[in-house]
Amino acid sequence: MRGELDLCGFSVFPSTHEDIHDIKIIDSASLLSGVNESWFIGRQETYPMMFFVAKLHHSNRVVGYFTAADAGAIGYYNESLPGFVYLSRFAVSEGLRRCGIGTGLYNTMIDSIMRMPQRYRGVVGDVRKSNRDSLSFFGSKGFREYEELSRPHWYNNGRTDDDRHKIVMYKLFPGR
């Protein structure tokens, strides 16, 4: 419509150091457990092709991010899920959820992983049981719970048992 601002017009880019401040703000507002800016910088430097941001077209403002790492290299799920990428942190600004930004970030991440010379078998991530939106999102992308790895009372912080309950979600890549 003429004169309306397209709030969900966005593009996805590899993250840069200039994005860290905005990423940290989104992270702090979205997730119960936070990490410091140096953690994000470390991920950018170590896994530049597994760290993306979504920026609005009209303002170039960062409104979402997605970061991942080689699960084996960081010691996550080596025995149960060898050859997987660990989806570390993922968030979209609250007022812009359900606009396709999360799907855009996810699709860019998966495309990037599939183009890498390593033949990763799939992706895995942790979601708090209380985070119904994330569980629904990953379920809609074909992820399943790895029940043997999910743990109640895993996280120390949280107001409820569901906040402390870790659900491990994974997805195998076809043909791998």
Residue 56's CATH number: 3.40.630.30
The answer to whether residue 18 sits within a structural domain is yes
Token output for 18: 């200039």
Residue 1 located in a structural domain: no
Tell me: the pLDDT tens digits for 19-51? Answer: 999 999 998 887 656 788 999 999 999 999 999
Question: What's the residue count for the chain?
Answer: 176
Q: For the chain, what is the mean pLDDT?
A: 87
Per-residue pLDDT tens for 118-149? 899 999 999 878 788 889 999 999 999 998 88
Using the predicted structure, report yes or no on whether residue 4 has a pLDDT greater than 70. Answer: no
**84 has a pLDDT exceeding 60:** yes
pLDDT level of residue 153 (50, 70, 90 thresholds): low
Residue 47 lies in a domain: yes
Q: Is residue 109 part of a domain?
A: yes
Quote the domain boundaries for residue 100.
10-172
Average pLDDT over residues 154-173: 76
